[in-house]
């Protein structure tokens, strides 16, 4: 992730500098980075292949498509022409057209409703504007939404489009509901037992000789020094210390000293009665060795390495020594490098020890990182801490690349954690970025060119209670729509129309001179009311909902979505633009009145 090639998208930037030259390194703005993959993949559930006997739910998808710059506008002038163009497109992608209803309610447009076995499509044309608005509501074959959208856009010759989808109700009892269950959602093919680390490792230990190569290359993290003084915390005197062997032979290391586990704590002292005494004696011994080294070399220690064979008890002693500020100041430089290679990634105390350094050296620049190096059979981890290097992230990535080339291992950088940001008293910014420094022309062009032509609302209603008298039916749903039209004195151009021969539910629709409404009942307890008006009138939506449910007060509003319809990448309602007499405040200054 960190090593992906940067792509220039030609987006203007005021604050962030271009990534070029030595000073403008790509991670300059990064303070922390964490990559924490799940130990398991998103995987197939053991019951995924099971087909339920009874349909438990029914989901649908309403997709609103704005087809712009339509080349077939003249061929869509009449409702019959629309049917001749759109119906073959629907059938070409496998949908079954059961019925079509049409109306020409004025406003220089024509409306046609195509009722399908799998859903319905409402098409509304604006011939002079070369624009067609599609409402596609599917309760079956929802996975074909992109196919039906592409077919419709191709049929009307649209060269520019946008779409918006809402999860809505479906319909129970459709013959294809089992296939819909299978096709719904992501296709997960991997079993839950498959780990992300494929192919599966055989848990063969990483050869300790590899540690030497990793440490040798990691010493380049002190690239600004060529006379490094380093200390390696090793295991017992009788055990090898590959970390010390590797770092002592590095060109930039002037002097390297191993500190072996104190004899008084070999084998662990946690449960011994005199454990405190033994640890204190070891602490004094380590301090004495560090004092002698610093005095002899007449300089402080630049690097500390925790060898994989070092013990937990010895690490406790080292932390005890370094936790005292006077010891850190006396023995170690302010720009310290600590390396902790791990062959056993379950030894979490090594990570904790590194994080302790991050809390001891508080002020920026301070970083701690964990890098995994993987082969097909084994893995090792390199933990590193660095203070005083603002470009540590760049240097770690460079070193990881060198280790890959030298050893054939694959690196996996898991995290970077920074220290406490430096407080800057009486901070004075070096730059002030004004409004005119930013590019607003494209947004302003979209604002001025967009043409909202309507107000669309989706009301999702649901029955409450289980009383038999509160059950819905196709006839009752149609009566609800008829009642709303009658109570509000709405004159219809077509409808109310009832379609109830596709499954357990029904579709009821009506077209007015100033809009349309399509009601979908799922066959049980869910209603979708798709209401379109040419004028922005949220109050009318409330009135329509109240009028429709007047005789069925147990039908309550569950969700409400509303959005503008129009062309030229419309995102604002008509009322938004009408209420704004002047240019918006964010518009380029040269365009303001």
Q: For 113-153, how does the pLDDT look when each residue is reduced to its tens digit (9 = 90+)?
A: 999 999 999 999 998 899 999 999 999 999 999 999 999 99
What percentage of residues in the chain have a pLDDT greater than 90?
54
Indicate whether 194 pLDDT > 50. Answer: no
According to the model, what pLDDT value does residue 197 have?
46
pLDDT in tens, 37-60: 655 455 555 555 566 788 888 899
Q: Are 576 and 447 in contact (CB under 8 A)?
A: no
Strand partners, 374: 379, 410
According to the model, what pLDDT value does residue 72 have?
83
Half-sphere exposure (CA, 13 Å, Cβ side) for 187?
Answer: 4
Choice among 56-60, 164-168, 320-324 with the minimum mean pLDDT: 56-60
Q: What is the mean pLDDT of residues 168-182?
A: 91
According to the model, what pLDDT value does residue 59 have?
92
Q: What is the mean pLDDT of residues 159-174?
A: 94
Domains and CATH numbers, the chain: 59-174+451-567 (3.60.90.10), 208-417 (3.40.50)
In whole angstroms, what is the distance from residue 46 CA to residue 152 CA? 38
According to the model, what pLDDT value does residue 45 have?
54
Q: Which of 295, 311, 401 shows the shortest CA–CA distance to 350? A: 311
Q: Average model confidence (pLDDT) for the chain?
A: 86
According to the model, what pLDDT value does residue 312 have?
92
Q: How far apart are the first and last CA of the chain?
A: 47
Q: Which residue has the tokens 């590899």?
A: 210
Going by pLDDT thresholds of 50, 70 and 90, the confidence category of residue 196 is very low
Choice among 37-46, 323-332, 385-394, 520-529 with the minimum mean pLDDT: 37-46
Longest dimension (CA), the chain: 102
In whole angstroms, what is the distance from residue 262 CA to residue 9 CA? 58
Going by pLDDT thresholds of 50, 70 and 90, the confidence category of residue 112 is very high
Name which residue leads in pLDDT, 272 or 568. Answer: 568
According to the model, what pLDDT value does residue 57 have?
86
Indicate whether 108 pLDDT > 70. Answer: no
pLDDT in tens, 552-570: 999 999 999 999 999 999 9
According to the model, what pLDDT value does residue 290 have?
96
Indicate whether 198 pLDDT > 60. Answer: no
pTM of the model: 0.67
The top-scoring range by mean pLDDT among 214-228, 377-391, 551-565 is 551-565
According to the model, what pLDDT value does residue 516 have?
94
Q: What is the mean pLDDT of residues 418-447?
A: 85
In whole angstroms, what is the distance from residue 143 CA to residue 148 CA? 10
Q: What is the mean pLDDT of residues 506-512?
A: 94
Q: Are 164 and 64 in contact (CB under 8 A)?
A: yes
Going by pLDDT thresholds of 50, 70 and 90, the confidence category of residue 441 is confident
Indicate whether 394 pLDDT > 90. Answer: no
According to the model, what pLDDT value does residue 195 have?
45
């Amino acid at each position: 992730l960190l090593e992906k090639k940067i792509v220039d998208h030609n987006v203007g930037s005021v604050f962030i500098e271009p990534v070029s030259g030595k000073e403008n390194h790509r991670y300059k703005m990064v303070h922390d980075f964490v990559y924490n993959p799940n130990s398991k993949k998103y995987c197939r559930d053991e019951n995924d292949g099971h087909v339920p006997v009874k349909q438990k739910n029914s989901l649908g998808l309403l997709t609103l498509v704005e087809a712009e710059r339509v080349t077939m506008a003249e061929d869509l002038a009449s409702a019959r022409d629309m049917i001749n163009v759109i119906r073959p497109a629907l059938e070409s992608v496998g949908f079954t057209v059961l019925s079509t209803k049409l109306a020409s309610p004025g406003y220089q447009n024509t409306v046609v409703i195509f009722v399908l076995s799998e859903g319905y499509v409402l098409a509304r044309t604006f011939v002079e504007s070369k624009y067609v608005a599609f409402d596609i509501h599917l309760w079956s074959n929802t996975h074909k939404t992109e196919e039906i959208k592409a077919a419709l856009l191709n049929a009307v010759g649209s060269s520019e489009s946008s779409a918006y989808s809402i999860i809505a109700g479906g319909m129970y009892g459709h013959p294809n509901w089992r296939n819909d269950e299978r096709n719904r959602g992501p296709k997960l093919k991997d079993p839950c037992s498959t780990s992300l680390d494929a192919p599966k490792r055989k848990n063969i230990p990483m050869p300790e000789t590899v540690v030497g190569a990793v440490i040798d290359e990691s010493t380049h993290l002190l690239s600004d020094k060529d006379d490094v003084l380093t200390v390696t915390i090793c295991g017992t005197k009788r055990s090898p210390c590959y970390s010390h062997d590797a770092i002592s032979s590095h060109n930039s290391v002037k002097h390297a000293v191993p500190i072996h586990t104190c004899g008084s704590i070999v084998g662990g002292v946690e449960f011994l009665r005199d454990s405190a005494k033994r640890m204190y004696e070891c602490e004094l011994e380590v301090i004495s060795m560090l004092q002698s080294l610093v005095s002899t070399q007449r300089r402080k220690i630049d690097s500390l390495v925790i060898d994989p064979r070092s013990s937990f008890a010895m690490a406790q002693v080292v932390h005890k020594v370094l936790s005292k500020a006077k010891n850190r100041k006396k023995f170690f430089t302010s720009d310290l490098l600590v390396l902790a290679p791990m062959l056993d990634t379950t030894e979490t105390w090594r990570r904790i020890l590194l994080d302790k350094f991050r809390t001891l050296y508080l002020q920026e620049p301070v970083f701690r990182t964990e890098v995994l190096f993987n082969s097909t059979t084994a893995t090792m981890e390199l933990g590193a801490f660095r203070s005083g290097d603002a470009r540590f992230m760049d240097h770690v990535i460079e070193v990881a690349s060198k280790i890959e080339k030298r050893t054939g291992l694959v690196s996996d950088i898991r995290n970077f954690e920074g220290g406490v940001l430096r407080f800057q008293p009486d901070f004075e910014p070096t730059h002030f970025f004004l409004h005119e420094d930013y590019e607003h022309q494209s947004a302003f062009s979209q604002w001025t060119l967009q043409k909202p032509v309507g107000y669309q609302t989706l009301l999702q209603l649901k029955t409450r209670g289980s009383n038999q008298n509160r059950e819905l039916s196709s006839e009752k749903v149609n009566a609800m729509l008829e009642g709303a039209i009658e109570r509000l004195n709405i004159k219809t151009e077509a409808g109310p129309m009832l379609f109830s021969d596709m499954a357990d539910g029904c579709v009821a629709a009506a077209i007015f001179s100033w809009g349309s409404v399509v009601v979908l009942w799922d066959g049980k307890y869910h209603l979708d009311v798709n209401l379109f008006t040419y004028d922005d009138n949220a109050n009318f939506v409330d009135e329509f909902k109240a009028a429709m449910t007047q005789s069925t007060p147990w039908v309550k509003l569950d969700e409400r979505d509303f959005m503008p319809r129009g062309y030229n990448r419309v995102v604002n309602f008509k009322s938004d633009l009408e209420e704004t007499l002047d240019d918006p405040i964010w518009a380029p200054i040269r365009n303001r009145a």
